[in-house]
Amino acid sequence: MRWSEVECTDVRELRGPLAVVGGVTGVGWDEFVRITLGSGERRHGLVLEVDRDLAVLQVLEGTAGIDPTAVRVAFASSPLRIPVGPGWLGRVCNGRGEPIDGGPPVFGAAEAEVGGTPINPVRRVPPSEPVLTGVGAIDVLTTLVRGQKLPIFSAAGLPHLELAVQIAAQSTAGGEEFSVVFAGMGLTHADASFVRGALAERSAAGELVLLLNTADDPVIERLLTPRLALTVAEHLAFDGGRHVLVVMTDMTAYAEALREVSAARGEIPARRAYPGYLYSDLASLYERCGRIRDRSGSVTVLPVLTMPAGDITHPVPDLTGYITEGQIVLTREAHARGVYPPVDALSSLSRLMRKGAGPGRTREDHLDVAAQLLAALARARQVRELADLIGRPALSPTDLRYLELDEAFQLGFLAQRPDENRPLDASLALAWEVLRTLPRGQLAMIPSELLDRHGVA
Amino acid sequence: MGAVTPYRILRVAGPLVELACSGDIAMHDVVLLGDAELPGEVVAIGGGVATVQAYEYTGGLAPGHPARPRGGPLRAALGPWLLGGVFDGLLRPLAGAGDRLVPGGGSRADGRTWRFVPSVEPGARTDEGGVLGTVTTQAVPFRVLAPPGCSGPVERIAPEGRYPADAVLAVVGGTEVRMAAEWPVRTPRPVRARIDAVEPLHTGQRVIDLLFPVALGSTVAVPGGFGTGKTVLLQQIAKWCHADVIIYVGCGERGNEMADVIAELAELDDPRTGGRLADRTVVVANTSNMPMMAREASVHTGVTVAEFFRDMGLDVVVIADSTSRWAEALREFASRMGELPAEEGYPARLASELAAFYERAGAVRTLSGAPGTVTVLGAVSPPGGDLAEPVTAHTERFVRCLWTLDRELAYARHYPAISWAGSFSRDAAALSTARARSGDPSWARHREQVAALLTEADRLADLVELVGLTALPDQERISVLAGRLVREGVLQQSALSARDAYCAPEKTAALVEAVLAVAARCRQLVESGTPADAVEVVDFTPLLRAREETGPRSAAGVAARRDAVLQALAPGGRP
Ligand SMILES: Nc1ncnc2c1ncn2[C@@H]1O[C@H](COP(=O)(O)OP(=O)(O)OP(=O)(O)O)[C@@H](O)[C@H]1O
Ligand SMILES: [Mg+2]
């Protein structure tokens, strides 16, 4: 970044994460800002508004400890740009992109604006190949597709971080070059070190970029972390030809930071005091996934969020659901039964799965097996409700088989160790095993020829 | 574009830009901001300051930068190139714009030409809206008309030949007429008269064509929580409905969805013209990460394009997915302007803005005298699925049809998840006359019977949950069965099905007739003493599979399966 020659010293007001400086000329909206404190400490910010000779700044590291009479502000005359390129691979940085792995600052041959630019919709290629995560529940039932955005909806106390890390550690794209950018926002130090430890191997292999904003880092910095992650990812994908998976956790912490800035600016709030532009802001992140015509890479986005009080109608999961292409939902019930990953198969859906799985993509029987398994689980749920009403002994023999199927599904299919990388063939084999709990007549969604081949009597 | 001295920018806060102005600028005038000439529109003037809503990312724009009024409001460039194309919210073509959209980009001239055939002689008199000739396009009878306000003798008319869109094809009463035209997007194009909307728009979706039909020129809102099927339903209609031109406005939604709809339309053939479906479609793509204020403009540009084709005497359908994102753009800008918020932060004018948008639909007698229609279908995305929220609540009041998507139905994979209890069509009565005229006199009666069956089955479903099915009297058990046959045999329709994604009116009629006939036979059986148990175990699968197993127009195939089931229910054929 190149900084203005003249630094401005006329700081008129400090309020929450905002600073108002006077006497500026020629400063544009959304420019990046460098703030030098009396102590020589450097902070950064961006221009939220310019009004005649006043500029309102959002200070990324927060305003704590800033003395308005002893501070200098320089302007970059461009939005925040960061170096991009393979130099990021294998690095561990904080939420602002500064190394915390003891290495030198990250360099790159090129620079890019962290805000990104919209992909031209006519240049997009519809996603059509899978990312395999090695997690059976996801690969078989809600296949992640290259270029898709698919969130994990979780709740406090559920193992979503474990699952996110497992996916980040294991995912592959059929032997093609694959990288992961992991952006942690508002993580506790314990969580952050768990993430570092669990992903150390992938990092050492030069396949991972780790950006960690911890809970005690300035809240506002969280607004930057996912943008850095996506900017790095876009370059690795669309210029470097890699398939890149971006894991962003926890988006609820991100949205809270957004709400905080909005409140400090005195904006009119919409639902639950979140700003009215929460949808568009989240979309400006999630929509950066995709594939582009005549370019070989892809960006796949996996946001993780905790639903406050488990409420799926809360603005963060709700607006996320309106942007993403499906969702993977975790439930307390399965978790309480000790099942990991506690995926609620019936409320989970990958809207692009039809395009990314099946013959020529994963396996010929995949879509039929998934559809049949989901239909059977839906029936099993009805039977369970019925059993609660009229008692188990009153169920028909077929209904009882559905209860068995449910049991087999939870323990024999869903359950997996957090360090177990299950190949798709093994996952599908387990799915067939679960389906065999039912009599053949109940498996009408699978062609009989496939049933024969898989030994269903 | 006069040589006006530029104004100076005073303030920039995202899409809100203020200029020092001393006159010579009118409300809704277009202003070009900064050296990059980013387009914006004046939304307020007062105290020597004009407030502009910018349609592009304003990063780098600073106080002191110049701003040039372009004179006049935001206009859409209209012409034959629209068909088969994809455009941004200001109707600038996206095809030539590169992988990434950068502010200030956009080109128009692509060197294409079209064949023009004149239909008037020099010297003839024509009125506004008069047809001067036709332009050959792949799928749509494109007519060149004397523009609104232009009448007089035809002073010049071009001979048959190929011309670029901006060539002068005629001069009428001193006015030059081209294939290309411009129109201010916020002004409805004039018509001779509004007429009653009485002809059905066949959508090819059974639950709609049967229970909640829509007339050509009518308005529909489709509210539903995320994942309930709004986009799939509207895309199905874009593909299969019997309209001449489809305007698909992707308003603040997903880029991948736009890529998908563009790819699919390009692959599909139009059963009515033999061309590609894309050739009768105009796509306006303003995805959620594109500039928010262009989203606000996009619905207006969309209906303006629709009116342009309507004026040629065509039936046009405008699909806006999703109007909630448009309303959010309104809210966003109102809040930056410091407008007093009403419900949930939306400006108090939300209701009138929605009403004005839907009012641009209608069946009309165009200036040329020919009938034409614009039908508007808007998706609504209520936060938290809460149908009482302002956008849904207001929209419901202004539309003639409401197709409410139900999360429970979607969850149970009953698609399209249109709730029969929560939807309505105020066109149904008028359309029953049209159906009777076009050879389906029993449509209204069948519709009533199906609706009654569904209501009865819903009432009983609550009971069954409490006491179990076997506790019901036999007659009511048959009602439960009939409800299931209607839901699974008629209403469900998968968009992914090769044979059933589209359903012709005659097949819909046949399916309804078949299910009603089977239900009536079942009822007769229990009335004459057969226990409900024995009826329930009959194999109804031929009837339930008829929709999937027969072709989209095969009324005969449906009838054969109906007969097979009736046979099984015949006194001698019972198991
Ligand atoms: N008619 C249908 N036939 C088959 N599947 C359907 C149908 N409608 C919806 N679906 C399924 O539901 C998913 C979600 O549908 P869709 O994208 O239309 O939802 P939406 O209401 O537009 O959601 P959002 O508000 O998030 O955009 C689809 O990906 C598809 O799997
Ligand atoms: Mg949608």
Q: What's the pLDDT tens digit per position in B188-234?
A: 999 999 999 999 999 999 999 999 999 999 999 999 999 999 999 99
Enclosing H/E stretch for B253: none
- Distance CA(B505)–CA(B210), nearest Å, equals 9
- Give how far A98 is from chain B: nearest CA, Å: 25
Interval A49-58: pLDDT, tens: 999 999 999 9
Long-range CB contacts (within 8 A, 24+) of B560-569: B561/B514, B562/B510, B562/B513, B562/B514, B562/B517, B562/B518, B565/B514, B565/B518, B565/B538, B565/B539, B565/B540, B566/B517, B566/B518, B566/B521, B568/B538, B568/B539, B569/B518, B569/B521, B569/B522, B569/B525, B569/B535, B569/B538
Contact (Cβ atoms closer than 8 angstroms) between residue B10 and residue B79: no
Domain formed by A82-356, architecture: 3-Layer(aba) Sandwich (3.40)
CA of B253 to the centre of ligand 2 (A): 7
Contacts of B63 in chain A (CB under 8 A): 25, 27, 50-53
Is the CB of residue B256 below 6 angstroms from any atom belonging to ligand 1?
Answer: no
Domain formed by A11-79, architecture: Beta Barrel (2.40)
Is the CB of residue B226 below 6 angstroms from any atom belonging to ligand 1?
Answer: yes
Is the CB of residue A351 below 6 angstroms from any atom belonging to ligand 1?
Answer: yes
Q: What is the pLDDT of residue B244?
A: 95
- Give how far B176 is from chain A: nearest CA, Å: 34
Instruction: Judge whether residue A414 has pLDDT over 60.
Output: yes
- Name all domains of chain B by residue range, CATH numbers in brackets: 7-72 (2.40.30.20), 111-181 (2.40.50.100), 193-428 (3.40.50.300), 443-569 (1.10.1140.10)
Is the CB of residue B492 below 6 angstroms from any atom belonging to ligand 1?
Answer: no
CA of A325 to the centre of ligand 1 (A): 10
Contact (Cβ atoms closer than 8 angstroms) between residue B522 and residue B569: yes
Select the residue from B284, B289, B407 to test the A interface by mutation, using most A Cβ atoms within 10 A: B289
Interval A335-376: pLDDT, tens: 999 999 999 999 999 999 999 999 999 999 999 999 999 999
Point out the ligand nearest to the CA of residue B321. Answer: 2
For residue B58, the tally of other CB atoms under 10 A from its CB is 27
Interval B107-124: pLDDT, tens: 556 789 999 999 999 999
- Distance CA(A82)–CA(A231), nearest Å, equals 8
ipTM above 0.85? yes
Q: Collapsing DSSP states into helix, strand and coil, what is residue A270?
A: coil
Check CB contact under 8 Å for B10 and A51: yes
- Give how far B135 is from chain A: nearest CA, Å: 26
**Residue of chain A whose Cα is closest to the Cα of B253:** A323
Q: Are strands A54-59 and A18-21 parallel, antiparallel or unpaired?
A: antiparallel
Of B260, B289, B465, the CB nearest to A118: B289
Check CB contact under 8 Å for B345 and A347: no
The DSSP-derived string for B68-121 is EEEEEE-EEEESGGGTT-EE-TT--BSTTS-SB--TT--------EEEEEE-S-
Q: What is the pLDDT of residue B109?
A: 60
Interval B240-266: pLDDT, tens: 999 999 999 999 999 999 999 999 998
Select the residue from A1, A56, A78, A122 to test the B interface by mutation, using most B Cβ atoms within 10 A: A122
Check CB contact under 8 Å for B13 and A51: yes
Point out the ligand nearest to the CA of residue B380. Answer: 1
Contacts of residue A53, defined as CB under 8 A and 6 or more positions apart, other chains included, come to A22, A23, A24, A25, B63
Contacts of B288 in chain A (CB under 8 A): 279-280, 283-284, 287, 323
- The percent of chain A in helix, strand and coil, each rounded to the nearest 5, is 40, 25, 40
Q: Which residue has the CA at smallest separation from atom 14 of ligand 1?
A: B227
- The percent of chain B in helix, strand and coil, each rounded to the nearest 5, is 35, 25, 40
Question: Which of the pair, A297 or A267, is modelled with greater confidence?
Answer: A297
Check CB contact under 8 Å for A327 and B227: yes
Q: In this structure, which amino acid lies at residue A213?
A: N
Counted across chains A and B, CB pairs separated by less than 8 A come out at: 184
| Residues in chain B, pLDDT under 70 | 1-5, 105-109, 571-575
Closest CA to A56 of A92, A12, A20, A8: A20
Specify whether the backbone of A102 is left (phi greater than 0), alpha (psi in -120 to 50) or beta.
Answer: left
Contacts of residue A441, defined as CB under 8 A and 6 or more positions apart, other chains included, come to none
Q: Tell me whether domains A11-79 and A82-356 share a fold.
A: no
From residue B440, alpha-carbon distances to B437, B507, B508, B513, B525 in Å are 7, 12, 11, 11, 29
Instruction: Judge whether residue A204 has pLDDT over 80.
Output: yes
Instruction: Judge whether residue A316 has pLDDT over 70.
Output: yes
Check CB contact under 8 Å for A280 and B101: no
Q: Taking each helix axis from N to C terminus, what angle separates B541-549 and B555-569, rounded to the nearest 10 degrees?
A: 170
The 3-state secondary structure of B144-173 reads EECCCCCCEEEEEECCCEEEECCCEEEEEC
Q: What is the pLDDT of residue B4?
A: 57
For residue A222, the tally of other CB atoms under 10 A from its CB is 26
Is the CB of residue B496 below 6 angstroms from any atom belonging to ligand 1?
Answer: yes
Measured in whole angstroms, the distance separating CA B102 from the mean position of its chain's CA atoms is 29
Q: Which atom of ligand 1 is nearest to the CA of B495?
A: 3
Q: What is the pLDDT of residue B1?
A: 42
Point out the ligand nearest to the CA of residue A323. Answer: 1
Check CB contact under 8 Å for A319 and B99: no
Contacts of residue A453, defined as CB under 8 A and 6 or more positions apart, other chains included, come to none
Domain ranges of chain A: 11-79, 82-356, 366-453
Q: Which residue has the CA at smallest separation from atom 29 of ligand 1?
A: A351
Select the residue from A1, A146, A268, A272 to test the B interface by mutation, using most B Cβ atoms within 10 A: A268
Fold of A366-453: 1.10.1140
- Give how far B266 is from chain A: nearest CA, Å: 12
The DSSP-derived string for B291-336 is -HHHHHHHHHHHHHHHHHHHTTT-EEEEEEETHHHHHHHHHHHHHH
| Predicted TM-score of the model (pTM) | 0.95
For residue A323, the tally of other CB atoms under 10 A from its CB is 24
